[in-house]
A and B are shown apart, each in its own frame.
Chain A
């Protein structure tokens, strides 16, 4: 008895829809939060809310723009990646070329990282300025079909403009964090003076006090909630990259086998750390204690990714021991 077969088209639509909904949620929240704070700080004027939100967004945008434009170079250098070409890595370049044709994007720059842990990442603000890096461990351990699946996944990140998407989300989260920080400082440094005893313009004293209280509560929990939403978006985009990879290769088995092989690998990727973990194909932080799980994970669990791929070909989902068995068979 096997699970009902889905198409990758429906998976792609669902993943896009969910990530968009999360972003809309975040935007609405930012709007509400900014309004409440501005209302409270300006003593009852809704225009204050607009100004506060606007300033926070601009500052956050400036901060994230730096990583947007200069980010690739920094990440690649930090990973010790060196550029490769047809002479050095012919099969890798061929596979990248094949996937670029299927995805109808220009061939990105390809880099190799000298590490036995199998992993890969892609950076670049759009397909014309993209770079792809794979570890030597990945090249050794995966066969051609599996490599196609992984490269397809990474190129899909580029094609789906996930870096830009992540920038958008980071700006929203950054704005929320800035507003929260600012409001807390404002309050505790006595910005409100004699609360309630001064004449407060057209807003009405009671409403302003409510706004202050709500603003304070939100300022404490909002940054955390925003971060959780950001991680949820990151997970949805990973699922989207998986299903987009299937759209390119039309071969769910390749990517599934790659995930199974990598999940059973015990090697640790030396160059990765918490700051760069979200970029990689699978979470490079292997130690269970060091890696976040569930709501705080940047990547969905490998077993869920494998099972989603299995549902595309009508195979039954596996549990953790089933996954280990699959890996053992390789």
Chain B
């Protein structure tokens, strides 16, 4: 009778300890999602800081392309304010900003002296790496979400997840606008300045 009691006690302790370990694992994974999201913010802010430098570097050369530059500056301002309006609004604003930058670089292609300018090249590399870093930060975010969602859905974690309020989290999806190719209007381009 005594051994049976001991065995039952050991089993109960094992279940409780197992439950605690599972709970802690879920909390850890959920926190990783928040950290990954914050890292995306870091990269987005980096881009905000770089853009004024880029606009200044090209402004002198692109006298006729003020609208393109203005679009970039405006989109950046929108993105900064959208930062406080929640993830959906922010994602939309950031994708719009990406679109204006792509238009800007498409136009820069027509200015050979600008293309060869050392400042512009460096800034282009900076923006390329920033776009990449944003992309990788989002990719990592999705990886943490996948890990977490898998944990709460699989056995035996699913037994703990439900009662303790661990809900599914959403992946970062590119907005539908991001799938569209940005329109580049070259119809009123003046001939590039020579000399």
Interface class of chain B by DSSP: helix
A97 and B129 within 8 A (CB): yes
> Which residues of A have CB within 8 Å of B43?
101
B105 in the interface (beta carbon within 8 A):
no
> Which residues of A have CB within 8 Å of B36?
104
B129 and A98 within 8 A (CB): yes
A314 in the interface (beta carbon within 8 A):
no
> Which of the residues A91, A97, A248 comes within 8 Å of B125, measured between beta carbons?
A91
What 0/1 readout, one digit per residue, does chain A (85-109) give for beta carbons within 8 Å of chain B? 0000011001101110110100000
A17 in the interface (beta carbon within 8 A):
no
A102 and B136 within 8 A (CB): yes
> Which residues of B have CB within 8 Å of A82?
none
What 0/1 readout, one digit per residue, does chain A (14-38) give for beta carbons within 8 Å of chain B? 0000000000000000000000000
Task: Using CB atoms, name the residue of chain B closest to A102.
Answer: B136
Closest Cβ of chain B: how far from A48's Cβ, in Å? 35
Closest Cβ of chain B: how far from A244's Cβ, in Å? 12
CA distance A101 to B46 in the complex (A): 14
Tally of contact residues, A, Cβ under 8 A: 13
Task: Using CB atoms, name the residue of chain A closest to B132.
Answer: A98
Provided the pairs A90-B122, A101-B39 are in contact, do residues A250 and B129 lie with their beta carbons within 8 angstroms? no
Task: Using CB atoms, name the residue of chain A closest to B131.
Answer: A98
B125 and A90 within 8 A (CB): yes
B125 and A101 within 8 A (CB): no
CA distance A282 to B137 in the complex (A): 29
Closest Cβ of chain A: how far from B54's Cβ, in Å? 16
B140 and A104 within 8 A (CB): yes
B133 in the interface (beta carbon within 8 A):
yes
CA distance A250 to B132 in the complex (A): 12
Closest Cβ of chain B: how far from A159's Cβ, in Å? 12
Provided the pairs A102-B139, A104-B140, A250-B139 are in contact, do residues A97 and B122 lie with their beta carbons within 8 angstroms? no
> Which of the residues A90, A95, A101 comes within 8 Å of B140, measured between beta carbons?
A101
